[in-house]
Chains A and B, each alone.
Chain A
Amino acid sequence: MNGKAWRDVRKNFPIYLFLLPTFILVIIFSYYPIISAVYHAFTEWDGVNVRFNGFENFLSMIKDDAFIASLLNVIKLTLFSEIVALTLPLLSAVIIFHLIGERIKYFFRVLFVVPMVVPYMVILLIWRFIYDPLDGLLNRLLMSFGITNTPVWLGDSKTALLSIMLIGFPWVAGFNLLIYLAGLDNISPDLFDAAAIDGALGLKRFFYIELPSLLGQIKLIVIMTLITQLQAFQAPLILTNGGPGFSTMVPGLVIYQNAFHFNRMGYASAIGLVLSIFILILTIINMRYISTEVAVSER
């Protein structure tokens, strides 16, 4: 470093002091784990002993039944979440938006925000109860219709994944609804007036005005759902632990189990690396093509 640059740094010393806490934390708790993860992906590692083993972990993945099953499951779960995210919350947002009367609009907005406040863990535990084979809400309902051979939902490999998908039904109260509503608020009222004069109402208005205007929000939701779903494993962890068999196994849970139950931390890091590269690509697409600004609500 030449003399002038060094003087610049010295003159700015208090500035660097302000940044110090941030960077100390980030180096220890972010940069070190990232480097460690990438390095250990190519090793056999139990958290203490390390042995370099090249691409062995990546080859093991192809032969790992749990991992293969988890990939298929995560694809199904993600596709399902995408379909859900693009239908019911969008429909409900449009309906709320076109309600007549500001007070009733506000009422339904708040009504569908409040459930978001309930901790996700509570939601999962409620759904575990709903699926309980004997005392659960769902089977009690079926029994009251006279159905006797009720499913065991989470305990049967034929229904377990479906049960995980159905958690949160009817999926309206949530983040997606807020994003759609914010998008609808941003459409110029002139556009709706013009449409009304032309007689474009209902479905016509939806396809000619609302859907095109919400493209930004829709793209955002598609990518965000993708990124979240690829990593999510709290529901299977709490409700089924990936079972029965591997019927509800997802990649995040394969990582978790290998690291914390089987002590195969190198292998877990390798799966984490593969998953992260996928997610990284999606995030970059997200940042390049989708402005997050569109999503921030005014209300």
Chain B
Amino acid sequence: MKNNLLMSNIWKILFLAIIAILTYYPFAFLLFTSFKDLSQFYHNFWTPTFPLRWENYYNAWLAIRQYIFNSLIVTGVSVAGVCIVASMSAFIFARYEFPGREVLYFMLLILIMIPSTLTLVPSFVLIRNLGLLNTRWALILPYISGGQIFAILILRTFFSSLPEELFEAARVDGATIWQSYSLIALPLSRAVLGVVAIMNTLNTWNDYIWPSVVISEDSLRTLTVGLAYFSGQYQTQYGPQMAGYVIASIPLLILFFLTMREFIAGLTSGALKM
């Protein structure tokens, strides 16, 4: 019996190992090609070669650092905006009774069902008419507006679950709404806010279609758009090209290993929204 179990474990591991190799081989290939010059690439296609051509990384970095910087700014401001705006609304919807509460909440909820395909074209014309084409606001404002919806949903559930006594006591002591929000609700919601932040970071960082439409100026391009452009520039220079892809993957990898638990939660809930 014991032997049987062990044998079946070995078959399972073998199966998973094959899947893992098939999954990871392109990334491994990417990694070692990123260190090759053209002659190394053509003479030793399948395996790593030495010496490592670090200058590929230097050249790629020069080409895409501005894009990474732009993505960091846009993502940072958008995510902070989502956290602030969404937590304020979610707090109100969770803890207060007021005229119009149901209607207003429904007005937000229904937006989850609207596919982005519908609003892509009019949103572009709107941004153009507002004179925001080729500015970071063309990205940040719609990202905050769109990102807050699902964030409000998650945060409202969390704020509703907090015990009423906390807020009751504050109210008796004469605390204002702002004080209840900023001194009680916000500090307690750090973990949930973390998940919301990561979810929005992923969506913002990886978005391609929208920035490709509203940003055409090279110095403002975000990483996804810049990378597509960069790969056209370095068409057959595989070394620097692949080095650029590796560099582009590093920021999220760092974030992942720093915040694994929240990251996976953010990944799952982020994918659940449509």
Residues of A within 8 A of B (CB): 5, 8-9, 12, 14-16, 18-19, 21-23, 25-26, 28-30, 32-34, 36-37, 40, 47, 88, 92, 95-96, 98-101, 104, 108, 110-122, 125-130, 135, 137, 140, 169-170, 172-173, 175, 178-179, 182, 224, 227-228, 231, 233-234, 237-238, 251-252, 255-256, 259-260, 265, 268-269, 272-273, 275-276, 279-280, 283-284, 286-287, 292, 295-297, 299
Contact = CB atoms under 8 A, between A and B. Distances in A.
Given A23-B107, A118-B252, A287-B113, 15 more contacts: A18-B88, A25-B85, A34-B122, A110-B260, A112-B19, A113-B267, A114-B256, A118-B27, A126-B245, A135-B238, A173-B23, A233-B209, A234-B209, A255-B121, A276-B115
A224 B271 contact: yes
B141 A99 contact: no
Interface string B11-36: 01101100110111011011000000
24 contacts: A14-B178, A21-B84, A26-B149, A30-B145, A36-B126, A37-B119, A47-B124, A47-B128, A98-B12, A117-B255, A118-B27, A119-B227, A121-B248, A122-B249, A125-B245, A126-B26, A170-B23, A172-B19, A175-B267, A255-B117, A269-B121, A275-B117, A296-B268, A297-B264
Contact of B22 (A95, A169, A252): A169
A178 B45 contact: no
A95 B256 contact: no
Contacts of B107: 23, 26
B249 to A, nearest CB: 5
B236 A135 contact: yes
Interface string B80-100: 000011101101100010111
B30 A265 contact: no
B245 A276 contact: no
B177 interface: yes
B242 to A, nearest CB: 8
Contacts of B119: 30, 33-34, 37, 272
B267 A125 contact: no
B208 A40 contact: no
A38 to B, nearest CB: 8
A165 B269 CA distance: 25
Given A96-B16, A283-B113, A122 B176 contact: no
Nearest to A173: B23
A135 to B, nearest CB: 7
Contacts, number: 257
Given A26-B108, A130-B26, A276 B117 contact: yes
Contacts of B238: 129, 135
B191 to A, nearest CB: 14
Nearest to B212: A237
B274 A37 contact: no
A15 B15 contact: no
A87 to B, nearest CB: 12
B227 A121 contact: yes
B118 interface: yes
A224 B12 contact: no
B146 A22 contact: no
A276 to B, nearest CB: 4
A100 B241 CA distance: 42
Contacts of B128: 47
Contacts of B15: 92, 95
B104 A119 contact: no
B9 A259 contact: no
Contact of B9 (A12, A32, A99): A99
